[in-house]
C-alpha cells in the first residue's frame, strides 16, 4: 500500500516536471513568436514608410510637371487669344478702310456735279417769275444733293484766310496781296472736302506772297491755269 502511494507520488512529480517543462517550452516558443511578429511588423513598417516616402516624392514630381504643363498651356492660350484679338481688330480696320475707299471713290465722282451746281448758282440771276421758279427748283435739287453728301460724312473746307497747308490745299496761283500776309490763302478756286476727318479732295487755292512782292507766275501762266480749270469744268458738264 505504501509502495503504491510512493509510485503515485513519483508519477505525479514526473507529470508535474513534464508539465512544467512543456510550459517553459511553450513560453519560449510564444516569446520567440512574439519577437518574430514584432520584427515582421517593424520590417513591414519600415517597408511601408519607404513606399509612402517614394509615393510622396513621385506625387510631388508629377505635380510639378503638371504645373509646368499648365503654365505652358496657359501661355499658349494667352498668346493665341492676343493673336486672335489683333486679327479681329486688323480685320475691322481693313473693312473700315475698304468701306471708306469705296465711298470716297463714289463721292469723288459726284463732286464735279456739286461744283457745276455752285457755278450755276453764282451765274444765274433770275429776272422774271418763270426764271425765279426755275431757280427755286434748282436750289431745291442742290440742297438735296448737299444733304446727301452731309449724311455720308462729307464736309466742305473753309480755306480763305487760312494758313496754306499742303496736306489740305493745292496752290494753283501765288500773288502779292496788301490784305493778306505771306502763305495765307486769298481765294478758293475749287472747294475741297473732308470725309470723316480725312481729305476727300484737296482745295485749289490762290496763296498770298505778302505785300509788295512780285507774282512768281507770269500773266500767261495764270491764264493757262485758269483755262485748265475751265476745261475741267467743261468736261464735268459734258459728262
Of 109, 140, 170, which residue sits at a domain end?
A: 109
Q: What is the pLDDT of residue 134?
A: 77
pLDDT in tens, 141-191: 888 888 888 888 899 999 998 999 999 999 998 988 888 888 899 999 999
Q: What is the pLDDT of residue 19?
A: 54
Residue with more model confidence, 22 or 144: 144
Residue with more model confidence, 117 or 232: 117
Q: What is the CATH number of the domain that holds 197?
A: 2.30.22.10
Question: Per-residue pLDDT for 204 more than 90?
Answer: yes
SS3 of residue 178 by DSSP: coil
Indicate whether 230 belongs to any domain: yes
What pTM does this model have? 0.53
Question: Per-residue pLDDT for 215 more than 50?
Answer: no
Q: What is the DSSP letter of 171?
A: E
Q: Are residues 204 and 100 in the same domain?
A: no
Indicate whether 114 belongs to any domain: no
Query: How many domains does one find in the chain?
Result: 2
Indicate whether 57 belongs to any domain: yes
Question: Per-residue pLDDT for 234 more than 50?
Answer: no
Q: Are the CB atoms for 79 and 200 separated by under 8 Å?
A: no
Tell me how crowded residue 186 is: count the other CB atoms within 10 A of its CB.
Answer: 20
Question: Per-residue pLDDT for 36 more than 90?
Answer: no
Indicate whether 193 belongs to any domain: yes
Question: Per-residue pLDDT for 127 more than 70?
Answer: yes
Indicate whether 98 belongs to any domain: yes
Q: Are residues 26 and 85 in the same domain?
A: yes
**188: containing domain:** 154-239
Indicate whether 8 belongs to any domain: yes
Count, residues in the chain: 239
Q: What is the pLDDT of residue 233?
A: 43
DSSP 136-155: HHHHHHHHHHHHHHHHTTEE
Indicate whether 139 belongs to any domain: no
Q: Are residues 15 and 96 in the same domain?
A: yes
Average pLDDT, the chain: 75
Indicate whether 224 belongs to any domain: yes
Q: What is the pLDDT of residue 221?
A: 45
Q: Are the CB atoms for 188 and 225 separated by under 8 Å?
A: no
Amino acid at each position: 500500500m505504501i509502495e503504491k502511494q510512493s509510485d503515485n507520488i513519483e508519477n505525479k512529480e514526473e507529470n508535474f516536471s513534464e508539465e512544467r517543462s512543456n510550459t517553459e517550452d511553450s513560453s519560449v516558443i510564444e516569446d520567440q513568436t512574439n519577437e518574430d511578429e514584432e520584427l515582421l511588423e517593424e520590417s513591414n513598417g519600415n517597408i511601408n514608410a519607404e513606399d509612402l516616402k517614394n509615393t510622396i516624392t513621385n506625387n510631388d514630381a508629377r505635380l510639378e510637371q503638371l504645373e509646368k504643363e499648365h503654365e505652358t498651356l496657359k501661355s499658349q492660350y494667352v498668346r493665341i487669344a492676343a493673336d486672335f484679338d489683333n486679327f479681329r481688330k486688323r480685320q475691322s480696320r481693313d473693312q473700315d478702310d475698304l468701306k471708306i475707299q469705296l465711298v470716297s471713290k463714289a463721292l469723288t465722282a459726284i463732286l464735279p456735279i456739286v461744283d457745276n451746281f455752285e457755278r450755276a448758282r453764282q451765274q444765274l440771276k433770275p429776272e422774271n417769275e418763270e426764271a425765279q421758279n426755275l431757280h427755286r427748283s434748282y436750289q431745291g435739287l442742290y440742297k438735296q444733293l448737299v444733304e446727301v453728301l452731309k449724311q455720308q460724312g462729307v464736309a466742305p473746307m473753309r480755306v480763305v484766310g487760312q494758313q496754306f497747308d499742303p496736306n489740305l490745299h493745292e496752290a494753283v496761283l501765288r500773288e502779292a496781296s496788301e490784305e493778306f500776309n505771306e502763305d495765307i490763302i486769298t481765294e478758293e478756286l475749287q472747294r475741297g472736302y473732308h470725309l470723316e476727318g480725312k481729305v476727300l479732295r484737296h482745295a485749289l487755292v490762290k496763296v498770298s506772297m505778302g505785300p509788295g512782292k512780285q507774282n512768281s507766275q507770269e500773266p500767261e501762266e495764270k491764264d493757262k491755269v485758269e483755262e485748265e480749270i475751265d476745261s475741267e469744268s467743261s468736261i464735268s458738264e459734258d459728262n
